[in-house]
Amino acid sequence: MVAVVGNAATMVKKAGVNTGNMMHGAAARNLLVKHINMPMRAWTEAEIEHLNEACSHIVFVAANGIRPGAPDTHPFARFQSALNQNILRTKLPVVVLGLGAQQALIAEPTTAIPKPSLDLLNTISDRAVNIAVRGENTADFLGRIGIKNTSVLGCQSCFYHMRPRFDPPIKAPVALRKIAFNYTYPGNEVPLIDTAIREGYSPFGQEEFAEAGICDGDFTLFQESPKLHNFFRQSAVGRDTYVDWIKRQFQQYYDMPSWLAAIKPYDFSFGTRFHGNMAALQSGVPALWIVHDGRTKELCDYHKLPYMLLGQAKNVRSVSEFAEAADYGPFQKAYAGNYARLYDYITQAGIAHKMPEPVL
């Protein structure tokens, strides 16, 4: 049995959570034969004793927990400080899944990082054979701060169903009638959202709790949202039109089976949310990632997922152009090898897992 800490496999409906992290967390737990979930607080002495006696490893489901350039007072710092102390109080080795650095698309090299983050990374590096990171940008940053034992493995959400080969392969959509759409920063994505509203695409949210509130008849977060104020200053879409779109078509889910079932009937998905499009892909729906930051780009580069840079995407007005850009040939060729690398990482760490053997 292993102890899992980090992103959860389900979410509660409350402002401040990102349901995309739920897919990251659920995929990690899918791999494991047996696990217990540990809370994100200081563990009690009884909990530490139980872990040392009953568990073989601590699995840290990390996501984009590295924030280069952030101050020591960053909100992540308190959690990371507590987790560091928790790990130090155990005798267990650590296995990391999906660690990423949140960086701009073009970021200046830096070694600045909150001290609690650095302390945690050094502890993990000492307790882990290798640290699974999302992409080359993250590996490069960790190398600059002295963390050398990294393995670039992308995100385990790409292997949610634990298929050694991605079968059946993703094919180009035969129709473009039902379109799933996702967005992150409305003020930066005005042309995409305006087109989505005009063409009637269905928005799938991840942390759009102002929109979820609209669906529940509560407009408090909508009226107070700085992101949406910025959007309406630039958009040709009025508030009433936006609200009507959300009421009719907005969807946001708090467990993966519901999300995957809801998106499965769609013909195509696109937008700036990594896991929003990954949910579509895992349901057999072709998707195109709109890349707006370094985290998304390094994941798409590693998995060979089809993407378009946000600057280019802002000039596109036809979903057919997005669909034509979604070439899954490179992804299909890379998938089996990427799966095998994650399989080897988990196996060599000594964790009891459920992944079928690779087929190369």
Residue type for 59, please? V
**Residue 124: what pLDDT?**
97
Give mean pLDDT in consecutive 10-residue pieces for the chain, a chain of 360 residues.
Answer: 96 89 96 96 97 97 88 87 97 96 81 93 96 95 96 98 96 94 97 97 97 96 94 96 98 98 98 98 98 95 98 95 97 98 97 95
**Residue 105: what pLDDT?**
80
Q: Which residue matches tokens 């872990």?
A: 51
**Residue 109: what pLDDT?**
80
Q: Do residues 131 and 147 touch, judged by C-beta distance below 8 A?
A: yes
Comparing CA positions, the residue from 252, 246, 242 lying closest to residue 207 is 252
Please give the Cα distance from 94 to 121 (Å, whole number): 11
**Tokens linked to 165:** 């080969």
pLDDT cut 90: percent of the chain above it? 88
**Residue 110: what pLDDT?**
86
Mind listing the domains of the chain with CATH numbers? 2-163+336-348 (3.40.50), 179-327 (3.40.50)
Comparing CA positions, the residue from 163, 166, 95, 168 lying closest to residue 133 is 95
End-to-end CA distance of the chain: 29
Cβ contacts of residue 235 below 8 Å, gap of 6+? 190, 193, 194, 242
Stated pTM of the model: 0.96
**Residue 324: what pLDDT?**
96
H-state helical runs in the chain? 20-30, 45-54, 75-88, 115-127, 136-144, 190-199, 209-215, 220-224, 226-234, 239-249, 256-263, 274-282, 294-303, 310-313, 319-325, 329-348
